[in-house]
Structure 1
Amino acid sequence: MLFARNAYHKTETRSEAQRAAVESQALQSHLALIHRALSRYRGVVDEATLEDLKQTALITFVTELRKFDHIVNDDFLRSATVRIRGAIIDELRQRDYLSRDKRTLSNQIKKAESILMGKLGRTPTISEVCRGLKISHQDYQDAMADMVLSDDVELFNIASSCDEDNEREALQLLVENELNKLPEEVRKVMYLMYVEGLSTQETALVLELNDIKVHRLKHKGIETLKTRLKDY
């Protein structure tokens, strides 16, 4: 399994001061891991919420480090990355991050994009979607930010639907394997957004696509994973 319990190591007993020093040094050395986990939510949530998510990530890092008896190795870093992402999503799920009005607008945008694509024979531009729905570009961008949270929660739900730790870890590995089976264009988007932690705009820039195309490919990837894993 990906993060089996036997990956944890036992070491000699350290004093409380020594453990605190190791934790502080490990945090300072791996702040990039924390920042990467948080980067996709910058501009999506307000600064106060972002700070709360940062504290959640830091606490999760230290908690996982203690499980590994303060040994920083590849097993720990892989496990900590997954645990931090999960803790952030749990924190977001506990907040009413997406109101009914915002959810309605997000669904309207998805429907409008689909209709316009059928009419135009291509992916519509943001301006075309906004004109069709009579909304501003800011309304559209706000809805896209909300979709980031919604999609992240949904993907996390797929990968953490089991109650037992060992089953959850096996399912996480299964999700990774299924990602590799996705069509190339979808896989690239999912990899950049959920492995590299890029934003929609950054992913669009890297792949030379527009934002709407990136969102559609991401939704396709999530829906495919849901279908393949529903009977697990």
Structure 2
Amino acid sequence: MYTASGTLDKEQLVIQYAPLVKRIAYHLMAKLPASVQVEDIIQNGMLGLLDAINRYEEGLGAQFETYAVQRIRGAMLDGLRENDWLPRSLRRDMRRIEAAVHQLEQQNGRPPTETELAGSLGMPLADYQHMLQEARGYQLVYFEDFAGDGDEDYLERHITIEGNDPLTLLMDSNMRDVLIQGIDDLPEREKTVMGLYYEQDMNLREIGEVLGVSESRVCQLHSQAIARLRSRIAGAVNGTAPVKVKGRGRRAAG
């Protein structure tokens, strides 16, 4: 990785680690709205890679790759930070889905199917699936989550308590149990998507190849799984006891 003069061959390093930048970008896309272009993420990531090469002068082995991943991710996030990752209108739509999930689970004692959710929202199945696809990037928890009728945020009410940031609240033993049960109750394909993405570090395209579906379909399943889990978390936060779901999610269509 050095030139004849003994200096780092930065051009060769860029070529070697460019695939790493692309992999990080494609994996990050599941957490970003559909309006974000992967080419923009990759461009920011390449800037992060160059910054890592300029800052890291020794080793260039596994330690460099670990360092580079941090710089690449940081550059990608910095490039996005000035934009609203998910429009408020889409957040409202997803909260409608969460409310429908909660209502139908209470009513039927099992995870609702996509068809049932679309019907509850008064829209064709295709429109509902398009809404899920557009909501790519919807996260499990936000600071502004769980707003009440007066638009007062649950997390804001509790943030003055020492240690009660979103991660701490999620890691509360009761909340953790709720989340574990919610994951266990997911329909099988949605559970598979979550496992492949978060545990196996696969991107949407790779997951689609495993499941034999399109990348957009994986995106829909991911967004729907997030909506189901957020519904469970919101129910726990608001003191609504979760129902005993029948069949642990395996009998409901994804």
Using the size of structure 2 for normalisation, the TM-score is 0.54
User: Which of the pair is proportionally richer in helix?
Assistant: 1
- Classify 1:221/1:146 alpha carbon distance in 2 versus 1 (closer, same or farther; 3 Å): farther
Q: 1:28 aligns to what?
A: 15
Q: 2:76 aligns with which of 88, 101, 110?
A: 88
Question: 1 CA distance for matches of 2:232 and 2:20?
Answer: 25
Q: 1:198 aligns to what?
A: 203
- Classify 1:93/1:216 alpha carbon distance in 2 versus 1 (closer, same or farther; 3 Å): same
Q: 2:113 aligns to what?
A: 125
Conserved? CA contact 2:34–2:135, under 8 Å: no
Q: Which amino acid aligns with 2:106?
A: G
Identity of aligned residues (%): 23
- Classify 1:117/1:213 alpha carbon distance in 2 versus 1 (closer, same or farther; 3 Å): farther
1:124-159 Cα distance to aligned partner (Å, 9 max, x none): 22222111112344543444345442428959xxxx
Residue 137 of structure 2 aligns to a residue in which SS?
A: helix
Conserved? CA contact 1:38–1:53, under 8 Å: yes
Unaligned runs of 5+ in 2: 144-176, 185-190, 213-217, 235-254
The aligned length equals 184
Q: 1:76 aligns to what?
A: 64
1:65-97 Cα distance to aligned partner (Å, 9 max, x none): 222116422122122223322332333331133
Q: Which amino acid aligns with 1:215?
A: I
Question: 1 CA distance for matches of 2:74 and 2:195?
Answer: 17
Q: 1:39 aligns to what?
A: 26
Using the size of structure 1 for normalisation, the TM-score is 0.58
Q: Which amino acid aligns with 2:14?
A: L
Matches within 5 A, 1:48-67: 49-67=37-55
Unaligned runs of 5+ in 1: 1-11, 156-180, 224-232
Question: 2 CA distance for matches of 1:82 and 1:146?
Answer: 28
Q: Which amino acid aligns with 1:98?
A: L
> Max radius of gyration: which structure?
2
Question: 1 CA distance for matches of 2:142 and 2:120?
Answer: 28
